[in-house]
Amino acid sequence: MQACFTRLEGWLEQEREQLALWVPVALGFGVVAWMVLPNRLEWLTFCISMVGLCCAALLLPAGSRLRRLFILGGFLAAFGCLLIWTKAIIWGQPALTRPAFVEMVGEVQAVNSVPAQRMSRILVRPRSRPDLPRLVRVNIADGDMPGGVGEGAVIRFRARLMPPAPPNLPGGYDFAMRAYFSGIGATGRALKPVAVLEPATMEPPLRSRLFAHILQQAGGQGAGIAAALATGDQGGIELEDADAMRRSGLAHLLSISGLHVTALIAAVVFILTRCMALSRRAALDWPLMLIAAAGGALAGIGYTLLTGAEVPTVRSCVAALLVLGGLALGRDALTLRLVAAGALVVLLLWPEALVGPSFQMSFAAVIALVSLSEHPRFRAFAGGRDEAVWRKAGRSLAVMLATGLAVELVLAPIALFHFHKAGMLGSLANLVAIPLTTFVVMPLEAAALLFDILGLGAPFWWLTSRALDLLLWIAHSISASPWAVMAAPIQSAASFGLIVMGGLWCLLWRTAWRWAGLLPVATGMVMIGLNAPPAILVTGDGRHVAIRTESGAMAILREGAGDYIRDSMGESAGYDGALEAIASLSQARCSVDLCAVHLKGPDRMWSLLVTRSSTMVDAQRLAHDCAGADIVVSDRRLPRSCRPRWLKADKWLLHHTGGLAIYLDDPGVRTVRTVGDEHPWIAAPPSRARPTDRQLYRRNSPANRP
């Protein structure tokens, strides 16, 4: 035992420079625990357990690194859990309890134009309505938007308000959580007429004015991308262009992050240094690097505030400021420590961002790039040397390809977990797209904005539009390839957690023990590969049902379902094609009111019964049909006489579980939420009694099927 302890201490001594990198990991572990555990008792139990770990570590020899590691790790984990718990209590906004049709008067807090969808999103603070949340977000169509609506205006309108939407399906995007921490308690669509009682007295924010100016000046298909690069607002990008950018692995160019902040700061530092060097006195007597770094820092902070201070932008700005500080002091600051410092700042201010894809993807990409650049062999290969031009160009191309592949590898599991698809050709597309954006599009756009002051920006806007047309051509060409996207069904949190922890273990340590992290990574990837797609998907309202056909395609119940529902169901099932209609299948028998479908399982046929209208069905007929079905799905509450053999997913059940993913290969059900979840953004079901897990699933257990 003593020998093991000694060897462990020796290993930690070798890794002493890397131990600080695990501080944000330990803090984030506590945040994740609060998000994953369902109720206050378990949150408190986790905190007590971490404090117990700190106390147990006191039994280890005094002064040992292992003792300090456990004490600090346990404290940070408990602090992380308490941090997000406290913020949820103090900062969060409880949601509207149920849908309501209201007429309200409110003060406009913000206006976000979305030209691609021909509407604007308005944040409104209701007046004299204590029954409404303190902040409401409504959509107003462009044709219904009156003049004078801006920040500070007072408007009157009618709207049907809804609680912020939870995920439609397991593994889907949880807008309710984001809205809770953003202070938004209800969403809806304003109905005309929208009356302006007090027009806005102040000018629109600089970001809004810049956004409108760029859309007007740039023109063409890429105008929305030009506006996004300058302001971070993606509302002007057409849906098909945004989808092409995602499928081709170029979506990161649209979100203001490290690439954009670094390019801006580097340009400012370069220009200031060169301009000051023109003066002999400044070149000899002034601290040029310090002055240029200060100018770059101011430019980075201003750009971050202008673009809305989103998590990736804040992370990039913090990291850039640390780099500038290191350069000003004459030190090499581009290390994993500055990444850890940026992560720590973001977690302390916005701990809820940890579970979002933006935080995970931005930090994962930077960690991969810095870890690769710090590797001795890669640094030796990528280092500058005297060689032929063609060899230098080939080496630069190989370095860009290697970094692109590294980023794609670390981002793929995150994309599969959150979006159920990952780009496969992104590294190739980025070989052209990143230099094009960094060295052509952004400088041209900056020059166009600068010359607009003199009214001479038109030629630069024309060149910017042509460069963006090329960028979009690359995106659409890559996205059209059948190899562009790898789709995967809903993933388990366990497989994702194994991959993340294994990846961090590989990237943050430096000795040979780092490669032990490949074992959990490989285990998680195997779990993803073996994960079977769901056979049936049911949205939380019970209106939309999709099934997997014998050919592997997907079919949907309601042919009139919108693109959002179709895309959500296809992504959750790991299917990248078009959804056909259930009624057109040979194994389906559908009437106006009911649809009966036979599904083939590994050892038997399953019978699914779905209601498809609001018309009352004869109770005796319904009871007979239910008795002959294994699974019944309905968007209304069914009578007790409807007793299927396995699962009855009616309105009452779905109110408690949310959307469902039903598996038939290894029979089971995955739900959006668990019974008794006490997270504050989870709306309480309106039914009189809340069932327990035993009441919900015991009768419907796969073990009890015939």
**Is residue 249 in a domain?**
no
Whether pLDDT at 701 is above 50? no
677 with 551, same domain: the answer is: yes
Q: What do you get for the CA distance between the two ends of the chain, in Å?
A: 54
Residues 563 and 651 in one domain: yes
Domain assignment present for 449: no
Q: Is the pLDDT of residue 688 over 70?
A: no
Residues 630 and 500 in one domain: no
> Does residue 699 have a pLDDT over 60?
no
Domain that holds residue 508: 493-530
Q: Given 177, 204, 231, which residue is the final one in a domain?
A: 204
**Does residue 680 form part of some domain?**
yes
Chain segment 222-248, per-residue pLDDT in tens: 888 988 888 878 888 888 888 888 888
For position 700, what pLDDT does the model report? 46
Q: Does residue 542 sit in the same domain as residue 621?
A: yes
Say if CB 109 and CB 151 are below 8 A apart: yes
Claim to verify: residue 79 and residue 180 sit in the same structural domain: no
**Dihedral of the CA atoms 403, 409, 410, 414 (nearest 10)?**
140
- In the predicted model, what is the mean pLDDT of the chain? 86
Using 50, 70 and 90 to split pLDDT, how confident is the model at 334?
Answer: low
Residue 189 and residue 46 in one domain? no
Q: Other C-beta atoms within 10 Å of 473: how many?
A: 12
Higher pLDDT, 706 or 537: 537
Same domain, 40 and 180: no
- What DSSP element (H or E) covers 122? strand 119-126
CA atoms within 13 A on the CB side of 613: 9
Per-residue pLDDT tens over the stretch 124-177: 999 988 889 999 999 999 888 888 888 889 999 999 999 999 999 998 889 999
pLDDT of residue 25 exceeding 90, the answer is yes
HSE toward the beta carbon, residue 60, CA cutoff 13 A:
19
Reported as type and span, the H/E element at residue 695 is helix 693-697
Same structural domain, 114 and 39: no
| pLDDT interval class at 694 (50, 70, 90) | very low
Model pLDDT, residue 686: 53
For the cut 50, the answer to whether the pLDDT of residue 704 exceeds it is no
Same domain, 138 and 200: yes
With a cut of 70, say whether residue 7 has pLDDT above it.
Answer: yes
3-state secondary structure of 237: coil
CA 14 to mean position of chain CA atoms: 36
Q: Between these two residues, 617 and 466, which has the higher pLDDT value?
A: 466
Report the candidate in 444, 422, 345, 340 with the shortest Cα–Cα distance to residue 21: 340
* pLDDT at 648 (0 to 100): 93
Q: Which residues pair with 104 in a beta bridge?
A: 157
The answer to whether residues 72 and 187 belong to one domain is no
According to the model, what pLDDT value does residue 264 have?
78
* Domain shared by 501 and 540, yes or no: no
Q: What is the pLDDT of residue 218?
A: 86
Radius of gyration of the chain from its Cα atoms, rounded to whole angstroms: 28
Q: What percent of the chain has pLDDT over 70?
A: 93
pLDDT tens profile 416-455 = 999 888 877 877 788 888 888 888 888 898 899 889 988 8
pLDDT bin (cut points 50, 70, 90) of residue 695 is: very low
- Tally the domains of the chain: 4
Interval 460-488 mean pLDDT: 89
Strand partners, 633: 610, 649
Residue 693 has pLDDT above 50, yes or no: no
The model's pLDDT over 378-405, given as tens digits with 9 standing for 90+, comes to: 888 887 777 788 888 888 888 878 887 8
Instruction: Indicate whether 557 and 673 sit together in one domain.
Output: yes
600 DSSP β-pair partners = 605
Which of these ranges, 27-31, 106-110, 469-473, 611-615, has the smallest mean pLDDT?
A: 611-615
Answer whether residue 416 is part of any domain.
no
pTM of the model: 0.85
